[in-house]
Amino acid sequence: MTDTPHPAVALNGLTKRYGGRTAVDRLTMHVPVGVVAGFVGPNGAGKTTAMSMLLGLIRPSAGTAEVLGEPISRPGAYLRRVGALVEGPGFYPALTGAANLRVLATIGGHDPARIPTVLAEVGLAARGDDRYGRYSLGMKQRLGIAATLLGDPELVILDEPTNGLDPAGMAEMRQIIAAIAAQGRTILVSSHLLGEVEQVCDWLIIINRGTLAYQGPTAQFAARAGARLVALAADHAEAARLADLLTTAGHTVDRAGDEVAVDLDGRDAPSLGAHVNRFAHDRGIVLAGLREQRPSLEDQVLALIGGAG
């Protein structure tokens, strides 16, 4: 799958207008194969509209897009390789979770033998025989994800799967998304909670009012938006010495007390951290700690989109 020459999803000027309102505005973006991509934007940014176009549920006003290398004008060519949860799934409250999945497997032409596997993938192995109506919201969401996995898809598209969940439910959802991705699937997951996607996504697409604000690796976004590495020295004198040496070596530093903040300058925090640690050690400076410091993703995005939305 990693040899696939095309991205899992590619949009080229994709546009959807409703009367005078443009919900998705000349959106050009892509999702590389194998990533967990976070599709982030405030409510009304156009996430659901864009995802619905990718699934052939609504027709674009202009522009093109491809999913798994096939144009969205022919969804029949790729939908069997895609699992999606966009509108809340229609489950029967009186049926068990497993029975609901049997119904969907029959409708979708999927092998019912996969049901125990997909229940286990979302942590519902022990609850498959409970009625759906008795499930908590988190369990309902997880059953929805299990349903997307019935066809063993290459690409999974999830619209706001953490909506309405409490922090524990959100953490569970993150674990499930990571586990699904670890099996080699590409994931596109939307959220209006940036901190949420940042923890699970390695690729970030940010939209606002239907237009692209950022796309790229999550780590690069963090580095670009003012992230720094903070080294804690034994005392002020050691910190001052480290700051001088790092400055001479070409780094941009800022010292406060026994802390030295080093700009990432486009590097990722782990590699700069290792470098600073070695640099200090080689010069006889013992570091008491090293941490990454950065504005919250929310603040970074607000800066990017000028506080709009």
Ligand X SMILES: Nc1ncnc2c1ncn2[C@@H]1O[C@H](COP(=O)(O)OP(=O)(O)OP(=O)(O)O)[C@@H](O)[C@H]1O
CB of residue 162 vs ligand X: minimum separation in angstroms?
A: 12
3-state secondary structure string across the chain: CCCCCCCCEEEEEEEEEECCEEEEEEEEEEECCCCEEEEECCCCCCHHHHHHHHCCCCCCCEEEEEECCEECCCHHHCHHHEEEECCCCCCCCCCEHHHHHHHHHHHHCCCHHHHHHHHHHCCCCCCCCCEHHHCCHHHHHHHHHHHHCCCCCCEEEEECCCCCCCHHHHHHHHHHHHHHHHCCCEEEEEECCHHHHHCCCCEEEEEECCEEEEEEEHHHHHHHCCCEEEEEECCHHHHHHHHHHHHHCCCCEEEECCEEEEECCCCCHHHHHHHHHHHHHHCCCCEEEEEEECCCHHHHHHHHCCCCC
CB of residue 45 vs ligand X: minimum separation in angstroms?
A: 4
CB of residue 24 vs ligand X: minimum separation in angstroms?
A: 7
Pick between residue 17 and residue 131 the one whose CB is nearest to ligand X.
17
Restricting to residues 164-193, name those near ligand X by CB under 6 A: 192
Q: Does 44 bind ligand X (CB under 6 A)?
A: yes
Q: Does 2 bind ligand X (CB under 6 A)?
A: no
Q: Does 194 bind ligand X (CB under 6 A)?
A: no
Q: Site for ligand X (CB under 6 A): how many residues? A: 12
Kindly tell me which residue out of 11, 33, 40, 45 binds ligand X, with binding defined by CB under 6 A.
45
Choose one: 43-51, 137-145, 178-186, 217-225; the region binding ligand X (CB under 6 A).
43-51
Pick between residue 48 and residue 141 the one whose CB is nearest to ligand X.
48
Q: Does 20 bind ligand X (CB under 6 A)?
A: no
Q: Does 47 bind ligand X (CB under 6 A)?
A: yes
Pick between residue 23 and residue 188 the one whose CB is nearest to ligand X.
23
Which residues lie near ligand X (CB under 6 A)? 18, 21, 23, 41, 43-49, 192
